[in-house]
Amino acid sequence: MRFSVRSMTVLFLTCLLYTTGCASEDATSNVPESTPVNPFDLPGNWYKANFHAHTTTSDGDVDLPTRVEQYKGAGYSILTVTDHEKTNDVTPFNTNDFLLISGMETHPASPNPDMRFHFVCLNVPLGLSFTKETGAEERIKTVLGKGGYVIAAHPYWCGFTIEELYPLKAYGVNAMEVYNATCRFCGRDVSSVHWDELLAKGWRLPALAVDDVHNDSSLHVGWTWVRAEALTLDAIMAALKSGAFYASMGPEFKDVRIQDGVVKVECSPVVKIQFFANAPNGMQMLAKDAPLTMASFEPKKKLTYVRVEITDANGKVAWSPALYF
Ligand SMILES: [Zn+2]
Ligand SMILES: [Zn+2]
C-alpha cells in the first residue's frame, strides 16, 4: 500500500501514482510446480518476521535505524525494509539475533489500467531499480534471478480479479499477502478469498501476514512465523522458498497436519477454528464453555487443499499454511 504521513493531498497523489497502469502481459515463462512444505514437519525454530515495511527512504514516517529498533525491541527476529522502488543498505543492522533483509516494493503495470501491481521483493541487491515501463514478468524474473523472492501484496486492496492474479503463477511469484495491516483502514486487509480461489485453481501459493508499516498505526499488527534451522539469510530465504511459514495477528498454531485423511490442528486457546478447502467444503467450530485448543476435520469428498484459520477472543486471526492431499 502507498501511504503519506504529510497530508491527504499527498496521499491521493501517491495513490494515483501507483494505481495507474497501462499494457497487460501474457504468461510466457514456465515455472515448475512445487508443493510447499508443512513447517510443522520440520526441525528448527520459529522466527517472528515482518516482511513489508517502509521508511523515510520512501513514504514511511521514520528512518531505517528507527524502524529496525521498533521491530527488534518488540521481539521480532526478522525485518525486511521494502520502500517503493528504492533499496536501503541493510548490512550495518545485522546481528546474531536480528536479520534485516533488503527489499523493495515495486509497481509494474497490471492488466487493470487503473491499478499497478504491488510486488514486495525480498533479498534484492542494493541499488536495484526498474524503469516505469519495465513489465511485471521482467521485474519478477530479475528479482528471482538475483536470489530474491516476490510476494503479491494486498490483492484485495488492489482490487485484482483472480483472472488478473493467476498469470503471476507462470511468472514465478512466490507468495501472497493474506493479511496486510495497513489495508485495514480501507477495510481491505484480508485477502483470504483470493487465496482460496488461487489454491482451488491449483496454484500452491503460500501466504503471509504483514504490517506494511508506514507509521505507528500499523506497527506489530500482522506478522509471519518462519520455521528455519538458523537465523541466517540463507536459511531464512530457503525457508521462504519452501513455504515453511504461517501468518498471524496473535494466535499460534502448535501443529497442523493431514493424518489418514483427517485434518488435525492444535493451537493456542481460541474461540473459533475454521477449515477451508475446495468449495463448498469446510467446517467451523465455535468455543462454548472453554476455549478451543484443537479440532479435526474429515473431508467427505476428494479435495486438493485445506487450510485452517483460528480466531482468538480479541478477534485476532492466524492462517495456517495450506496443506495438500
Ligand atoms: Zn503496496
Ligand atoms: Zn507497502
Same domain assignment for residues 153 and 190 = yes
What pLDDT, in 10s, does the model give residues 241-266?
Answer: 999 999 999 999 999 999 999 999 99
* Cα 46 to averaged position of ligand 1 atoms, centre (Å): 26
Question: What pLDDT score does 70 carry?
Answer: 98
**In angstroms, what is the span from residue 270 Cα to ligand 1's centroid?**
30
Domain boundary among 248, 271, 306: 248
Q: Which residues span the domain enclosing 302?
A: 250-325
**pLDDT single digits (tens) 185-196:** 999 999 999 999
Asked whether the predicted pLDDT for residue 163 surpasses 50, the reply is: yes
Same domain, residue pair 260 and 233: no
**pLDDT band for position 19 (50/70/90)?**
very low
Mean pLDDT of the 175-198 span: 98
**Cβ atoms 83, 60 nearer than 8 A:** yes
Question: What would the grid cell of residue 246 be?
Answer: 504461517
The pTM of the full predicted model, rounded to 2 decimals, is 0.91
What's the 118 CA to ligand 1 centre distance in angstroms? 5
pLDDT tens column, 50-66: 999 999 999 999 999 99
Q: What is the mean pLDDT of residues 87-104?
A: 97
For residue 4, the model assigns a pLDDT of: 52
Q: How far is the CA of 140 from the centre of ligand 2 (A)?
A: 17
pLDDT of residue 291: 98
Number of domains in the chain: 2
Q: Could you say which ligand is closest to the alpha carbon of residue 210?
A: 2
Ligand showing the shortest atom-to-Cα distance for residue 80: 2
Of 227, 248, 269, the residue that ends a domain is 248
For residues 234 and 311, state if they share a domain: no
- Give the domain-ending residue among 248, 275, 299: 248
Same domain, 240 and 270: no
Asked if residue 220 belongs to a domain, the reply is: yes
Are residues 140 and 119 in contact, defined by beta-carbon separation less than 8 angstroms? Answer: yes
pLDDT at 85: 98
Residues 84 and 103 in one domain: yes
Distance 287 CA to ligand 2 centre (A): 36
Give a yes or no: residue 294 inside a domain: yes
Neighbours of ion ligand 2 (CB under 5 A): 1, 105, 212
Say if residue 30's pLDDT is above 80: no
Q: How many CA atoms lie within 13 A of 126 on its CB side?
A: 4
Q: What average pLDDT does the structure give for the chain?
A: 92
Asked if pLDDT for residue 24 goes beyond 60, the answer is no
- 105-158: per-residue pLDDT in tens? 999 999 999 999 999 999 999 999 999 999 999 999 999 999 999 999 999 999
With respect to residue 286, please indicate whether it lies within any of the assigned structural domains: yes
Q: Are residues 311 and 173 in the same domain?
A: no
Q: Ligand 1 center to residue 108 CA distance, Å?
A: 12
Is residue 1 domain-resident? no
Same domain assignment for residues 171 and 232 = yes
pLDDT digits (tens, 9 = 90+) for 208-235: 999 999 999 999 999 999 999 999 999 9
- Ligand 2 centre distance from Cα of residue 5 (Å): 13
Ligand nearest to the CA of 82: 2
* Structural domain includes residue 266: yes
| Residue 280 and residue 169 share a domain | no
pLDDT at res. 325: 94
d(CA 1, CA 34): 29
Q: How confident is the model at residue 34 (pLDDT cuts 50, 70, 90)?
A: confident
